Amino acid sequence: MNEYQELVDLLNREEDWIIRHLVEFAKANDYAKYTSTLEEAWRASIRGINHTFQESVRNIEGIPEHRPDRDYANDPLAAFGVQEARLHRSRGVTLSMFLGLTKYYRQAYIDCVRQKVSGEKAERFRTYIDRVFDHFEMGFISEWTSSDKPKLLNELHGRNRAITNEKN
Does residue 52 register a pLDDT over 90? yes
The stretch 152-164 carries a mean pLDDT of: 64
pLDDT at residue 114 in the model: 96
Stretch 121-143: mean pLDDT: 93
Q: Is residue 168's pLDDT more than 60?
A: no
Give the pLDDT confidence score for residue 134 in this predicted structure.
95
Q: Which residues contact 106 (CB under 8 A, 6 or more apart)?
A: 129, 130, 133
The Cα angle at residue 149 between residues 148 and 150, in degrees rounded to 5: 95
Q: Where are the alpha helices (DSSP H) in the chain?
A: 3-13, 15-28, 39-59, 79-90, 95-116, 119-146, 149-167
Report the pLDDT value the prediction gives residue 94, as an integer from 0 to 100.
Answer: 85
Tell me the average pLDDT across 67-94.
Answer: 84
Q: Does the pLDDT at position 54 exceed 60?
A: yes
> What's residue 159's pLDDT?
66
The pLDDT value recorded for residue 37 is 72
Is the per-residue pLDDT at 148 higher than 90? no
